[in-house]
């Protein structure tokens, strides 16, 4: 009896890791492809190895000699994938190479050109990859060369002449995603828990909308399929058993329109059961749908710590929405959702895209103003970049709207692999027929202020007081921006100047120019040091809230007071209130020193204020005027917070990346002190508290840890 053959299969969802991991999530796409193939292939044994690290794969593949190497093909690993596949073919020419993912072009002619230009790629898979990959494996088992195969589902390859694209067969959809086994409960993802990666669990697949800038606009994704609540419970519980109490690890629920369908309610009920039993997941990341706010509100209240209210808008300019074939929910519906979901205090956000068709500087700023008035706490502003295979990337669209394209290094997406320097690029739209490049760069500068000030929970109390006083928050942000261009603005001006220069210098005329820069030793050194090639929003938010904390605080407070005076009815206590809020914000958020040295646990500091800000923030029905009166707080850290700090800072990721993640994602909880109101204050304690709350103590510097200001 002959021994059954074993087919060795390597699946790669690789990302660059030169300056920390470019992506923190577990590779759910290749996991589901592998799990389904493991179930369906019966003609031979299969051995799967899944890779997040290209370095790990390159160390192993020549000795292991896989029969098939498949790669998940994204914009952030495009060139890395192509390089790895070339190395595979150079060493193992008989190994079959397969790419699938959003970077595979949907149109036959450019897809044929891609395969002709990249002979190291045998097969490209378009769309859902599970069923096509099973057919590919079975074909390898049968031993037929791919050039002699007549047809496969969902796959494209070149005929023997090397020029003709083989005809593929359509791929039938799954009736339910439960047909695909879980890569969690079958053990395929166990290795990724040790690497501190964040679990991703797909709850549905598909999107009924057709936004022209999005890969999900393809017709093949219009039929939405779901995972059962029982499957979700098993997967989340499997993760929770390994991540109990790990608040630094997020759960990503993958759904293009989370909450749009009623199936979400039983799913979040299962997640809540796990939260109650395992103290995880503390944070759940989703992409919310836009048409069923009642489902989103219900889901948020079911989960133990709620959901961040994430509402995509892209633009509020009607001609733009028509051009991109998008229909937003109303601003009133957004406001209603914000008022009813948990986590709205810090985590609600919406996104807007600069340089979409028909957008002007004036219409974009008007959109910012309107979004701020909804009460959303963060505005994620992006520059339009063109994704392969989307209608927006067609040459007709580029010509129609006058897109001026430049190229940028995808943040931290670069590295050196067996002596070859690889960098990933994105095609940015830096001007259009309706938006000049100067206008775009001006908006980029305003974007820094919005990200450092508006998007930071640090300034939520200031914004709330501005709202109570009837002031315009967007005009407050513009005041800070205008101040940042003044010579006496100190570090605020310094940060803006450096940022503005870097925002201009990060743009390349061509991909070839970018590659030449990376090949130059001096250029590559700027990438390694972080001088170039970083996410500018994350980089300068971190700089503003750590190195420049006190001066950005002062600028925000001063400009808030000036904007409030424009209302013409500023109460006599307002300036004192703004100063109290400034000191309170510093008390909670001036935690950058704790990245290097945690505070002493259970060490209490006493502080005095003229308003009970803690009570005001805890009750949205109160105005700050309702909370006037001398107030004392004890400020301290318990052992649990110190342990959470340790978990964050030792998570295994590059340290600057961890810091950026904490600020960007509002993962402040571990770093913010406990604040207890004190009602019985003796005279000696009162004097110490007064000393600890005067000018210069924890209001303009890193904080006052003088033992004289401690109350044991």
Residues 328 and 242 in one domain: yes
Half-sphere exposure of residue 429: CA atoms within 13 angstroms, side-chain side = 28
Query: Rounded distance, CA 476 to CA 463, Å?
Result: 9
DSSP 20: B
Radius of gyration, alpha carbons of the chain: 27
Q: Which two tokens stand for residue 437?
A: 């490049």
Q: Does residue 580 form part of some domain?
A: no
Residue pair 677/615 in contact by the 8 Å Cβ criterion: yes
> How many domains does the structure of the chain reveal?
3
The CATH number linked to 151 is: 3.40.50.280
Residue 189: per-residue pLDDT: 97
DSSP 454: I
**Which domain-ending residue is among 349, 384, 419?**
384
Residue pair 342/300 in contact by the 8 Å Cβ criterion: yes
Q: Does residue 400 form part of some domain?
A: no
Three-class SS state of 152: coil
Residues 225 and 116 in one domain: no
- Nearest of 384, 497, 373 to residue 445 by alpha carbon: 497
Residues 268 and 324 in one domain: yes
Could you tell me where the DSSP H helices lie in 174-247? 190-193, 229-243
Q: Which two tokens stand for residue 275?
A: 């939260």
Residues 350 and 265 in one domain: yes
Q: Does residue 340 form part of some domain?
A: yes
Q: Please state at what angle helix 28-40 crosses helix 130-142, rounded to 10 degrees.
A: 50
Residue 708: per-residue pLDDT: 24
Q: Does residue 276 form part of some domain?
A: yes
In this predicted model, what pLDDT tens digit does every residue of 380-437 receive, in sequence order?
999 999 988 788 988 999 999 999 999 999 999 999 999 999 999 999 999 999 999 9
Residues 359 and 233 in one domain: yes
List, in sequence order, every beta strand (DSSP E) within 73-122.
96-100
CA 187 to chain centre: 27
What residues make up the domain containing 85?
6-156
Strands 349-354 and 378-383: parallel
Query: Rounded distance, CA 601 to CA 639, Å?
Result: 6
Residues 152 and 202 in one domain: no
Q: Which residues sit opposite 415 in a β-bridge?
A: 422
H helix or E strand, kind and range, residue 399: helix 395-401
**pTM: predicted TM-score of the whole model, two decimal places:** 0.84
281: preceding bond cis by omega (within 30 degrees)? yes
**Which domain-ending residue is among 354, 384, 414?**
384
Residues 233 and 140 in one domain: no
Residues 70 and 215 in one domain: no
Burial letters 44-59, b for 16+ CB under 10 A, else e: eebebbbbbebeebbe
Residues 18 and 132 in one domain: yes
Residue 331: per-residue pLDDT: 72
Residue 238: per-residue pLDDT: 98
In this predicted model, what pLDDT tens digit does every residue of 444-487 receive, in sequence order?
999 999 999 999 888 989 999 999 999 999 999 999 999 998 87
Residue 666: per-residue pLDDT: 72
Ranges of the chain with pLDDT below 70: 1-3, 208-222, 290-291, 309-310, 338-347, 651-654, 682-712
Q: Which two tokens stand for residue 695?
A: 């000018």
- Nearest of 15, 198, 21, 52 to residue 657 by alpha carbon: 21
Give pairs for 164-170: CB < 8 Å, separation 24+: 164/112, 165/108, 165/111, 165/112, 165/115, 168/126
Q: Does residue 170 form part of some domain?
A: no
Residues 345 and 222 in one domain: yes
Residue pair 130/202 in contact by the 8 Å Cβ criterion: no
Residues 617 and 697 in one domain: yes
- A 10 A CB-CB count for 158 gives 20
- A 10 A CB-CB count for 397 gives 18
Q: Does residue 517 form part of some domain?
A: no
Three-class SS state of 12: strand
Query: Rounded distance, CA 527 to CA 201, Å?
Result: 33
The CATH number linked to 223 is: 3.20.20.70
Residue 704: per-residue pLDDT: 36
Residue pair 326/211 in contact by the 8 Å Cβ criterion: yes
Q: Which two tokens stand for residue 66?
A: 């896989």
Q: Which two tokens stand for residue 644?
A: 């959470």
Q: Does residue 289 form part of some domain?
A: yes
**Which domain-ending residue is among 384, 416, 440?**
384
List, in sequence order, every beta strand (DSSP E) within 418-546.
420-431
- A 10 A CB-CB count for 712 gives 6
- A 10 A CB-CB count for 107 gives 11
- Nearest of 388, 372, 300 to residue 337 by alpha carbon: 300
Q: Does residue 415 form part of some domain?
A: no
Residues 327 and 204 in one domain: yes
């Amino acid at each position: 009896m002959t021994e059954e053959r074993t087919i060795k299969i390597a699946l790669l969802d690789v990302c660059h890791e030169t300056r920390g991991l470019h992506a923190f999530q577990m590779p759910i796409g290749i996991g589901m492809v592998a799990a389904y193939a493991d179930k369906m292939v019966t003609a031979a044994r299969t051995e799967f190895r899944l890779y997040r690290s290209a370095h790990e794969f390159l160390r192993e593949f020549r000795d292991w000699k896989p029969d098939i190497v498949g790669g998940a093909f994204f914009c952030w690993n495009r060139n890395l994938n192509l390089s790895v596949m070339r190395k595979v073919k150079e060493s193992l020419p008989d190994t079959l190479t397969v790419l699938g993912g959003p970077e595979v072009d949907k149109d036959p002619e450019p897809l044929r050109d891609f395969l002709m230009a990249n002979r190291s790629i045998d097969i490209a898979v378009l769309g859902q990859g599970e069923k096509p990959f099973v057919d590919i494996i079975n074909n390898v088992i049968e031993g037929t060369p791919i050039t002699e195969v007549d047809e496969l589902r969902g796959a494209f390859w070149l005929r023997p002449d090397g020029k003709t694209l083989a005809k593929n067969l359509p791929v039938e959809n799954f009736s339910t995603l439960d047909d695909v086994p879980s890569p969690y409960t079958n053990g395929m993802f166990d290795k990724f828990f040790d690497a501190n990666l964040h679990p991703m669990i797909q709850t549905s697949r598909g999107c009924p909308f057709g936004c022209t800038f999005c890969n999900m606009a393809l017709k093949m994704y219009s039929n939405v399929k779901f995972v059962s609540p029982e499957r979700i419970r098993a997967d989340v519980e499997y993760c929770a058993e390994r991540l109990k109490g790990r608040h630094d690890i997020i759960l990503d629920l993958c759904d293009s329109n989370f909450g749009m369908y009623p199936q979400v309610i039983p799913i979040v009920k299962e997640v809540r059961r796990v939260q109650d039993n395992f103290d995880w997941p503390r944070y759940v990341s989703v992409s919310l749908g836009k048409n069923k706010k009642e489902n989103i509100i219900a889901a948020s209240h079911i989960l133990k710590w709620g959901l961040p209210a994430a509402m995509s808008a892209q633009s509020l300019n009607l001609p733009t929405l028509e051009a991109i074939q998008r229909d937003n929910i109303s601003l009133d519906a957004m406001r209603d959702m914000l008022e009813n979901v948990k986590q709205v205090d810090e985590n609600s956000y919406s996104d807007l895209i600069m340089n979409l068709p028909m957008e002007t500087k004036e219409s974009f700023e008007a959109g910012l103003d309107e979004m701020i008035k909804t009460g959303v706490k963060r505005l994620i502003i992006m520059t339009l970049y063109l994704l392969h295979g989307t209608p927006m990337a067609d040459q007709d669209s580029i010509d129609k709207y006058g897109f001026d394209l430049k190229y940028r290094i995808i943040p931290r997406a670069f590295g050196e692999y067996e002596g070859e320097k690889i960098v990933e690029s994105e095609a940015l739209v830096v001007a259009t027929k309706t938006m000049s490049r100067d206008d775009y760069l001006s908006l980029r500068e305003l974007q820094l202020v919005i990200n450092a000030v508006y998007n930071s929970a640090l300034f939520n109390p200031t914004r709330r007081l501005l709202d109570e006083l009837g002031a315009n928050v967007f005009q407050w942000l513009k005041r800070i921006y205008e101040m940042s261009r003044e010579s006496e603005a100190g570090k605020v001006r310094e940060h803006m100047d450096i940022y503005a220069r870097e925002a201009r210098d990060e743009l390349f005329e061509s991909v070839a120019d970018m590659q030449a820069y990376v090949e130059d030793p001096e250029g590559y050194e700027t990438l390694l040091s972080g001088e170039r090639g970083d996410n500018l929003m994350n980089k300068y938010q971190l700089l503003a809230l750590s190195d420049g904390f006190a001066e950005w605080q002062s600028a925000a407070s001063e400009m808030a007071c000036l904007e409030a005076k424009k209302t013409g009815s500023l109460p006599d206590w307002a300036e004192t209130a703004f100063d109290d809020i400034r000191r309170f914000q510093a008390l909670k958020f001036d935690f950058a020193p704790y990245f290097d040295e945690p505070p002493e646990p259970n060490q209490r500091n006493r502080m005095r204020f003229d308003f009970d800000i803690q009570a005001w923030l805890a009750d949205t029905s109160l105005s700050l005027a309702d909370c006037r009166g001398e107030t004392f707080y004890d400020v301290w850290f318990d052992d649990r917070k110190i342990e959470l700090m340790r978990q964050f800072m030792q998570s295994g990721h590059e340290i600057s990346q961890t810091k950026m993640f904490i600020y960007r994602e509002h993962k402040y909880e571990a770093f913010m002190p406990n604040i207890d109101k004190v009602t019985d204050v003796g005279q000696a304690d009162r004097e110490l508290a007064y000393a600890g709350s005067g000018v210069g103590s924890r209001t303009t510097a890193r904080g006052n840890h003088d033992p004289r200001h401690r109350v044991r």
